[in-house]
Amino acid sequence: MTEEEAKKEFKMQQDIPGTPAHWIKMMTETAHPAVVDMIERQAITALRAGHNFAQAMAQADQDPEEKKKVMAEFQRMASRVSKTGSFDITDFVDNKVDTEE
């Protein structure tokens, strides 16, 4: 998912009650525009990461070898999270997940 596609999807979801984008819109109605921009950029990054994560999983399910590679990468990332206490979702933004070992 490109950044433009994610922005379009996020803006569309802002008018659909119950979506995270709508919740963000309601919570930031009176916030400073710079704060709103920062929060929206983070939400769009998360939307892209979620989409790309799901896409990687769907593709991996079609090929047992690819699935092993993707699962190994997820295990590596989980290990990093357990050591650092954080997770960088940008690993999924531009399909940067490294499945080459």
CB neighbours (10 Å) of residue 13? 18
Query: By C-alpha distance, which of 95, 89, 74, 91 is closest to 43?
Result: 89
- Residue 88 pLDDT: 65
Per-residue pLDDT of the chain (101 residues; tens, 9 = 90+): 888 999 999 999 999 999 999 999 999 999 999 999 999 999 998 898 888 888 888 888 888 888 888 888 778 877 877 777 666 666 655 555 444 43
The backbone torsions φ and ψ at residue 62, rounded to the nearest 5 degrees and listed phi first, read -80, -20
Q: In terms of pTM, does the model score above 0.85?
A: no
* Structure-token pair, residue 4: 């433009």
- Residue 84 pLDDT: 72
Helices (H), 28-95: 33-60, 64-84
- Residue 51 pLDDT: 87
